[in-house]
Amino acid sequence: MATKYHNLSEYNSQSLPDATSYRVAIVVSEWNDNITHALLDGAYQTLVKNGVKEENIFVDFVPGAFELTFGAKKMAENLSCDAIIGLGCIIRGETPHFEFIAQGVTQGFVQLNVKYNIPFIFGVLTDNDMQQSIDRSGGKYGNKGDEAAITALKMIAFSKKM
């Protein structure tokens, strides 16, 4: 659903599981850090607000969105986590670079979800311009970081149920 019809930060807290024992890692792209740090703040605060203990949230950074896949893979191999969230921001430019990076990181997260036995959450903005990214990182359409955190909590519960 388009974010202009659904705010990224809206969710029903009653539908969320008890997350007090959950362990969540977040890997964040440093590229477009004004946006990605806002995404991180949203994700982190949403996890804490919904019961994840601060000592059970692991955050690290990689240079750009393309490196999120490797960062998430290393977190899966070296941390005991229930889910890993990747946060990034790719803004369309004048060359095909946008498409290559967006497709690469998307496919990377698909592969991680298939390879490992934990959910990898895709919290990457792929916007046409900086204003769209601002609007989706705490602006008028909410925060994609909030949405990624809620998705992580729901997918952890789903995974544990199975």
Per-residue pLDDT tens over the stretch 39-97: 999 999 999 999 999 999 999 999 999 999 999 999 999 999 999 999 999 999 888 88
Q: Is 14 a domain residue?
A: no
Mean pLDDT, the chain, whole residue set: 94
Q: Is 107 a domain residue?
A: yes
pLDDT at 12 over 70: yes
Both tokens of 60, joined, read 């690290």
Q: Is 99 a domain residue?
A: yes
Q: How many domains does the chain have?
A: 1
Tell me which residues are annotated as active site: 97
Tell me which residue range forms the domain holding 99.
27-161
Per-residue pLDDT tens for 131-147?
A: 999 999 999 999 999 99
pLDDT at 3 over 70: no
Q: Is 3 a domain residue?
A: no
Q: Is 88 a domain residue?
A: yes
Q: Is 8 a domain residue?
A: no
The CATH number of residue 98's host domain is: 3.40.50.960
Q: Is 10 a domain residue?
A: no
